[in-house]
């Protein structure tokens, strides 16, 4: 039997999603908790392997088991044994053709940037920060050039293991909400550090270092050395995974839970 899960977590408490020998990852903690309910070791597969410090409001994962348990056991039972900031939001049985990673049609990321002279303390680890005022109008113009089919090699980390740098960017937007800038990206897939590299480039434009046209020119160059440095991980959230509608997942397979701009 295969079980799909909807998972959320605060990434600043973990060394990323993917299992490591030290055991301080989201996958390690979840597999241990699920294994206690299943009574046997399990292996989780996720829709997006997030880095250290990156959060998720709507990660999707699956595992296989030979035991019968209620949905409540896979949700409340697993959550009751977790002592770290990760929780299972829902669980559904799926057939063996479902795969959280290879079956996903698209993913959504949101980056929340606190644009204020004073470094945030209460939200430390949950939002990015940049102290110089940014021109969101320039950034909004620049980000439009990302929509469509592109080779995103310019914004790809050196250790990226993706088979192809060509992705379809369905949506790319930047807006201001008070002291916060909100970046939304919806694409067929994402390269390693792609969103953080895009945010870094947009910040350069927002502070007037480059014109909006520079983003399109840099994208076309396919040269990572011409782009801005990778931005901090703290404000990045995996907030949606799109699956074909025939899978019996909540919301018809379109799992979206956007983190709101923090209000204090």
CA torsion angle for 33, 37, 40, 46 (degrees, to 10)?
A: -50
- Tell me which of 4 and 158 has the higher pLDDT: 4
% of the chain residues with pLDDT over 70: 97
Say which residues have a Cβ less than 8 Å from residue 144's Cβ, sequence separation at least 6.
172
* Residue 262 pLDDT exceeds 80: no
Contact at 8 Å (CB) between 227 and 158? no
Cα three-residue angle 70-245-247, rounded to 5 degrees: 30
* Residue 261 pLDDT exceeds 80: no
What 3-state DSSP class applies to 136? helix
User: Between β-strands 166-177 and 180-187, what pairing exists: parallel, antiparallel or unpaired?
Assistant: antiparallel
Tens digit of pLDDT for each residue in 131-146?
999 999 999 999 999 9
Q: Would you state the pLDDT for residue 263?
A: 54
State the Cα–Cα distance between residues 140 and 65, nearest whole angstrom.
46
Q: Considering the candidates 51, 135, 151, 184, report the single residue annotated as catalytic.
A: 51
Contact at 8 Å (CB) between 116 and 131? yes
Contact at 8 Å (CB) between 72 and 19? no
Contact at 8 Å (CB) between 227 and 155? yes
Tens digit of pLDDT for each residue in 26-69?
999 999 999 999 999 999 999 999 999 999 999 999 999 999 99
Q: Would you state the pLDDT for residue 264?
A: 47
State the Cα–Cα distance between residues 171 and 24, nearest whole angstrom.
33
**Average pLDDT of every residue of the chain:** 94
Q: Would you state the pLDDT for residue 255?
A: 66
Mean pLDDT of 190-208: 97
* Residue 180 pLDDT exceeds 60: yes
Mean pLDDT of 119-130: 94
Q: Which domains does the chain have, with CATH numbers?
A: 2-103 (3.30.70.580), 106-238 (3.30.70.660)
Mean pLDDT of 161-188: 96
* Residue 242 pLDDT exceeds 70: yes
Mean pLDDT of 212-219: 97
Rounded to two decimals, what is the model's pTM? 0.94
Tens digit of pLDDT for each residue in 58-116?
999 999 999 999 999 999 999 999 999 999 999 999 999 999 999 999 999 999 999 99
Q: Specify whether 28 is catalytic.
A: no
Sign of the dihedral defined by the CA atoms of residues 42, 47, 53, 58, in that order: negative
* Residue 199 pLDDT exceeds 90: yes
Contact at 8 Å (CB) between 110 and 177? no
Contact at 8 Å (CB) between 182 and 174? yes
């Amino acid at each position: 039997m295969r079980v799909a899960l909807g998972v959320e977590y605060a990434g600043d408490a973990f060394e990323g999603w993917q299992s490591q020998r030290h055991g301080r990852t989201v996958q390690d903690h979840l597999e241990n908790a699920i294994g206690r309910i299943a009574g046997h070791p399990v292996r989780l597969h996720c829709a997006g392997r997030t880095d250290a410090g990156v959060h998720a409001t709507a990660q999707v994962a699956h595992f296989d088991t030979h035991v019968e348990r209620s949905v409540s056991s896979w949700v409340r039972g697993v959550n009751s044994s977790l002592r770290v900031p990760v929780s299972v939001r829902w669980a559904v049985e799926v057939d063996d053709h479902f795969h959280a990673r290879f079956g996903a049609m698209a993913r959504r990321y949101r980056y929340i940037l606190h644009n204020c002279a004073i470094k945030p303390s209460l939200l430390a680890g949950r939002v990015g920060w940049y102290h110089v005022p940014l021109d969101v109008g320039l950034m909004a113009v620049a980000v439009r050039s990302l929509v469509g089919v592109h080779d995103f090699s310019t914004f790809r980390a050196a250790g990226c293991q993706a088979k192809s740098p060509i992705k379809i960017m369905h949506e790319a937007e930047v807006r201001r909400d008070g002291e916060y800038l909100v970046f939304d990206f919806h694409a067929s897939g994402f390269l390693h550090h792609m969103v953080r590299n895009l945010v870094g480039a947009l910040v350069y434009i927002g502070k007037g270092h480059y014109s909006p046209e520079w983003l399109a020119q840099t994208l076309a160059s396919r040269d990572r050395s011409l782009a801005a440095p990778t931005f901090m991980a703290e404000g990045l959230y995996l907030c949606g995974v799109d699956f074909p509608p025939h899978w019996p997942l909540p919301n018809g397979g379109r799992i979206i839970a956007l983190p709101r701009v923090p209000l204090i």
